[in-house]
Structure 1
Amino acid sequence: MNNRHLIAILRGITPGETIAVCEALINAGITMIEVPLNSPDALTSIAMASNALGERSAIGAGTVLSKKQVWAVSDAGGTFVVSPDTNKQVIEETIRLRMFSFPGVFTPTDAFRAIKAGATGLKFFPAEVLGPKGIKAMKAVLPPELPLYAVGGANPDNFNEYFAAGCAGFGLGTYIYKPGMDAGQVAERAAAAVTAYDAGKPA
């Protein structure tokens, strides 16, 4: 995936808002966009974004809990799956369908279960509870090439702390989008995130 390791999490977005918000994100430089499946009519939003913007971005789904949901995301044109847990079936099915898998982990046991199932990267959630120190301690025993994402409490003000802990990137939820925000507000926050990411990313 030739994208910045920044995932915009659009929880609660509706199909009518999706294209404008996604275009704002892409234009700002965030090209990994997640629509959680507990958003209104999420699969329609994923299909719309994939059809319209799939050549410029990676559109995926979050809060994916079952193989059936993995199939639905694939059918909608999604290219990655973010799950809140380390469900082996979800991870393996995602990889089998040639999508990228980013399961949520909190402990070393979670992390190695996800790695054994074939995870593309790991989502440390909630990062604000683990903190950079907790992530750094786990990073020491994980495969060095595996990208780690801080999700839940990560924002441009603390990117550098998580970079120092060994994270490759971030999932941005309520910082980047809350229901009711318009594309202009999203664009401003996305630009700030990209600036902080580019400035802090280790060479």
Structure 2
Amino acid sequence: MKVEEVLAEGVPPIVAILRGIRTEEAVDIAASLVEAGVRLIEVPFNSPDPCGSIRAMVKALGDRAAFGGGTVTSTDLAEQLAAAGGTFMVSPNTDAAVIARSLELGMDVLPGFLTPTEAFAALGAGARDLKLFPGSVLGSSYIKAIREVLPAEARIWAVGGVGVANVAEFRAAGVYGIGVGGSLYRPGDDAATVAARAASLVAAWKAAS
């Protein structure tokens, strides 16, 4: 599935970031997230076997969730991600060439930005969704300020330090979605633990609506 297909089903715009996941546990962890209502799942490329994990998850759950790759910092990684079946690309930075190549490959893009200059560069390269990273360092007041100058169709996703405790604050500031890593999954966590955290996060998101 692609991101928009998942979101069209009323799923909260929450990306689970599975940094450090191993291929042999990827399907079980992903299944626990999907059952809890988190159906956008990212495996960063600095994980042990990102393409293997993505390929396994897509094969098992590709009709129920969108799977993508994170820390995509080159066109080569974008090509590897597409070949593994990933349908969206997440990066920590704004690189016009990586954005353009990812779009050419049919993937949705979520490039990272920090400044208005980077945000407009990403939009100019074809992005609509923008990843504010690190979100918790700049906070909700920054999001409110930068939304005033961005086009109305631009969608900000806050990533980094966002979770159950502050999701309502970020929603009130106008974020479209969030990406959550360590407070959802850390290497060694079992599926039941991840499922419980995901359920709490989904409940917090809905309560802040």
Given the two structures, how large is their TM-score scaled by the length of structure 2? 0.94
Aligned counterpart in structure 2 of residue 120 of structure 1, from 99, 114, 128: 128
Equivalent residue runs for 1:24-39 within 5 Å: 24-39=32-47
Equivalent residue runs for 1:71-82 within 5 Å: 71-82=79-90
Gaps of 5+ in 2: none
- The Cα offsets for residues 42-98 of structure 1, whole Å up to 9 and x where unpaired, read as 100000011111100000000001111111100000000000100111101111111
Aligned counterpart in structure 2 of residue 155 of structure 1, from 157, 163, 180: 163
2:166 and 2:24 map into 1 onto residues whose CA distance is 32
Q: Is the 8 A contact 2:143 2:173 kept in 1?
A: yes
Percent identity over paired residues: 46
1:155 and 1:114 map into 2 onto residues whose CA distance is 25
What's 2:178 paired with?
Answer: 170
Q: Is the 8 A contact 2:128 2:153 kept in 1?
A: no
1:111 Cα deviation from its structure 2 partner: 0.4
Q: Is the 8 A contact 1:24 1:184 kept in 2?
A: yes
Aligned counterpart in structure 2 of residue 103 of structure 1, from 111, 114, 136: 111
1:141 Cα deviation from its structure 2 partner: 0.8
Moved more, 101-110 or 144-153: 144-153
Amino acid in structure 1 at the alignment position of 2:88? F
What's 1:187 paired with?
Answer: 195
1:145 Cα deviation from its structure 2 partner: 2.2
- The Cα offsets for residues 86-141 of structure 1, whole Å up to 9 and x where unpaired, read as 01111011111111000111110110000000113011010111100011100111
What's 1:54 paired with?
Answer: 62
How well do the aligned residues superpose, as a CA RMSD in angstroms?
0.8
Given the two structures, how large is their TM-score scaled by the length of structure 1? 0.97
**Would you say how many aligned residue pairs link Structure 1 and Structure 2?**
201
What's 1:140 paired with?
Answer: 148
Q: Is the 8 A contact 1:176 1:186 kept in 2?
A: yes
1:198 Cα deviation from its structure 2 partner: 1.4
Secondary structure of the equivalent of 2:111? strand
What's 2:205 paired with?
Answer: 197
Whether 1:16 aligns to 2:24 is yes
Amino acid in structure 2 at the alignment position of 1:156? V
1:195 and 1:146 map into 2 onto residues whose CA distance is 25
Gaps of 5+ in 1: none
